[in-house]
Amino acid sequence: MKNRIATLAFASLLAFASLSAAASVFAQSNPSQPPPHTPFTGVWRGQMDGLPALTLVLTDESGSLSGAVLFYLHMRKSVNDPWTSTPGLPEPIFHLHAEGNTLTFQVSHRRAHPPHTLSDPPVTFALTLAADGAAELADQSERAPAVTLTRSDY
């Protein structure tokens, strides 16, 4: 059952990315509306300890930045077992604000670890662009280390 839910969650995020890609192809075939891509658009992937940690999809096809993020749960059955990575559910991002090479946004924390997170406020993240299609994603609400992301175009 877990694998089925994880597969559906990842399929939802891929569908979002596919729709964005289709919109991009349409926009490119329509010369009256040139694609308004920003340096933040694309599919960003991050790993921790060699396992997928998150996938962030950013698009500006609607004329403004929007997107979704998919976090992976890292766990192991016992101390001696290897770590595994299981995708959660994609969450929309909101309150996006780009300034220079940094994009800040928020993600709902309500479904992160229910039931005790149901009334938690949104979590704020900062995506800071680096060289060579890389970026650092930092949780502004915690003092956790930043995650290095790599970008691929849709």
Q: What is the CATH number of the domain that holds 35?
A: 2.40.128
- Residues pairing with 51 in the sheet: 48
> What average pLDDT is seen over the chain?
79
Identify the domain containing residue 43 by its residue range: 2-152
Lowest mean pLDDT among 1-5, 83-87, 130-134: 1-5
How confident is the model over 71-78, as a mean pLDDT?
92
- Give the pLDDT mean for 126-151: 90
Work out how many domains the chain is built from and give that number: 1
What span, in angstroms and rounded, lies between the C-alpha atoms of 48 and 54? 9
Separation of alpha carbons 83 and 74, rounded Å: 6
Residue 37: band (very low, low, confident or very high) from pLDDT cuts 50, 70, 90: low
Interval 141-149 mean pLDDT: 86
Query: 21 versus 40: which is more confidently predicted?
Result: 40
Q: What confidence score (pLDDT) does residue 10 get?
A: 45
Other CB atoms within 10 A of residue 140 CB: 12
Outline where the chain has alpha helix (H).
2-29
The band of 78, judged by pLDDT with boundaries at 50, 70 and 90, is very high
Residue whose pair of structure tokens reads 């039931």 in the numeric block: 115
Least confident of 29-38, 63-72, 75-84, 89-98: 29-38
pTM, entire model: 0.73
Which is more confidently placed, 65 or 3? Answer: 65
